[in-house]
Structure 1
Amino acid sequence: MTSVEYLYVFLHDLSSEFLILRQFDIFLMNSSVKGLCLLIPKRAKPCNNYTPFVLNQQIQTRKMRLPYVPNPPPPSTEEEDAIVKRIQERRAPRPLQPLDLTLLHSPPVADGWNSFLGAIRTKTTIPEDLKEIAISRVAVVNRAWYEWAHHAPLAEKGGVSKEGMEAVKDGKELILGETEMPGGLTEKQWAVVCFTDEMTRNVQVRDETFGKMKELFGEREVVEIVATIACYNCVSRFLVALDVGERNGTGPDAAH
């Protein structure tokens, strides 16, 4: 279940400022490379004085419960190649992600997933702060830390304050109208967080909670918020069941 890997650190002029390429971003032919991280100087200039060091030859890393497909996926049928191309186009300029390399064990499922997620991510009208705060709260409730690592930064980028994200990160159950609204969140953000909490934990939503959502949002917005929460509950359960990205058993603070 674990493997012994080397952790290489490349030092440049003894600089202490590095970019970190996490384990889930490092893939080479069926994820045979499983280094914990690669540190690269942020302002490194072309030079020949990089020195590799083996820091620990007994570092053990988690493995996803299934092997990832090779990246890039090997040529297959014309239909399956077209599926891979569509997923690559949606991800661009980023490479295929661990989630993609898991889903591509079943190209038709990967294709439908890509279409659905593409619509939720890029074709809805709800503001980015509300979309990403909902996804982040799903990640917290379901302990899907791979999902949190990707979407919590997007929530902050979309306008959620750091103080607000600390409240989102708290795993305690939230009840709209009963739990005191923390500082750092707007009324709409808080309503979406509580609505997400209720949908994710209980599936059924109280009339009082839904009534507040109708008061704050239009019908299309409500549908898109519900669809986003439902979608990322699906994503989080897939991620956790297979341990995609090897984040199970960690936590939100270890996920960045």
Structure 2
Amino acid sequence: MTERLVPYQPLDLQEPADLVAAIRQRRGGQFINLDRMLLHSAPFATGWNAFLGEVRNNLGLDPKLRELGMCGVAILNRAEYEFIHHAPVFLSAGGTEEQVKAMRQIGSSPMSAGLFSQLEEDAIELTIQMTRSIEVDSALMKRLQSALGNSHLVELVGVIATYNMVSRFLVALQVTPEH
């Protein structure tokens, strides 16, 4: 492996104290490597912690759809770190091991028929379109709006957009899974 350009901040980092405490509280007392990279910039880490905390914990969107979008982005952008962190949450939100395995093929081969609901298939297609081509087919958006309503459609689009940001950060700075 090549040497990391930007090293992780130490696990025992104490300053800035308020920010470190807020991140540790959101993570159940731990730092993950993403936090250790973000903490090179206190303003960035502060905003990230607040924003991602809201996205992860306070949306009305079905958690399974939320995590499906996050995992799909991770696979499409080759952000294994992101997938490793979100696949277990997808499972706890009602996903299956078979679906997790199938998600690894998003964007490279057709999904197995019947493995995902029509809404989940549309959410996967939205993830692919937003991540790869940015523009989204209007018929797809109309189906999703009909199924989800305006608020949850905005949240799903926001989750996919947010996790495209996350994956690009992870990949560019070579953030690796914790051991």
Instruction: Give the TM-score normalised by the residue count of structure 1.
Output: 0.65
The aligned residue for residue 200 of structure 1 is 131
Matching residue's letter, 1:68: Y
Cα separation, 1, equivalents of 2:168 and 2:85:
15
The aligned residue for residue 86 of structure 1 is 22
**What do residues 128-159 of structure 1 show as CA deviations (whole Å, max 9, x unaligned)?**
11111110000010000000111112112211
Structure 2 residue corresponding to 1:130, chosen from 41, 61, 65: 65
| Contact persistence 1:164–1:183 (CA under 8 A) | no
Any gaps of 5 or more consecutive residues in structure 2?
Answer: none
Max radius of gyration: which structure? 1
Matching residue's letter, 2:172: A
Any gaps of 5 or more consecutive residues in structure 1?
Answer: 3-61, 248-256
Matching residue's letter, 1:65: L
Structure 2 residue corresponding to 1:110, chosen from 16, 25, 45: 45
Q: If each structure's helix is expressed as a fraction of its own residues, which one has the higher value?
A: 2
Matching residue's letter, 1:98: N
Cα separation, 1, equivalents of 2:49 and 2:146:
32
SS in structure 2 at match of 1:70: coil
Matching residue's letter, 2:9: V
Cα separation, 2, equivalents of 1:151 and 1:246:
12
Query: Are 2:131 and 1:191 equivalent residues in the alignment?
Result: no
Cα separation, 2, equivalents of 1:182 and 1:139:
22
Superposition CA RMSD, Å: 2.1
The aligned residue for residue 170 of structure 1 is 105
| Contact persistence 1:144–1:240 (CA under 8 A) | yes
Matching residue's letter, 2:26: R
Matching residue's letter, 1:243: Q
The aligned residue for residue 225 of structure 1 is 156
| Contact persistence 1:144–1:236 (CA under 8 A) | yes
| Contact persistence 2:34–2:175 (CA under 8 A) | yes
Once the 2 structures are TM-superposed, how far is the Cα of residue 183 of structure 1 from its aligned partner? 2.5
Cα separation, 2, equivalents of 1:74 and 1:203:
40
Once the 2 structures are TM-superposed, how far is the Cα of residue 214 of structure 1 from its aligned partner? 0.9
Could you say if the C-alpha distance between residues 180 and 153 of structure 1 is closer, same or farther in structure 2, counting changes exceeding 3 Å? closer
Cα separation, 1, equivalents of 2:71 and 2:5:
24
Once the 2 structures are TM-superposed, how far is the Cα of residue 124 of structure 1 from its aligned partner? 0.2
Could you say if the C-alpha distance between residues 64 and 150 of structure 1 is closer, same or farther in structure 2, counting changes exceeding 3 Å? farther
Query: Are 2:2 and 1:71 equivalent residues in the alignment?
Result: no
Could you say if the C-alpha distance between residues 246 and 123 of structure 1 is closer, same or farther in structure 2, counting changes exceeding 3 Å? closer
Q: If each structure's strand is expressed as a fraction of its own residues, which one has the higher value?
A: 1
Matching residue's letter, 2:98: E
Count of matched residue positions in the alignment of Structure 1 and Structure 2: 179
Once the 2 structures are TM-superposed, how far is the Cα of residue 227 of structure 1 from its aligned partner? 0.8
Could you say if the C-alpha distance between residues 131 and 114 of structure 1 is closer, same or farther in structure 2, counting changes exceeding 3 Å? same
TM alignment of 1:48-63, pairs within 5 A: none
| Contact persistence 1:163–1:183 (CA under 8 A) | no
Could you say if the C-alpha distance between residues 180 and 158 of structure 1 is closer, same or farther in structure 2, counting changes exceeding 3 Å? closer
Instruction: Give the TM-score normalised by the residue count of structure 2.
Output: 0.91
The aligned residue for residue 98 of structure 1 is 33
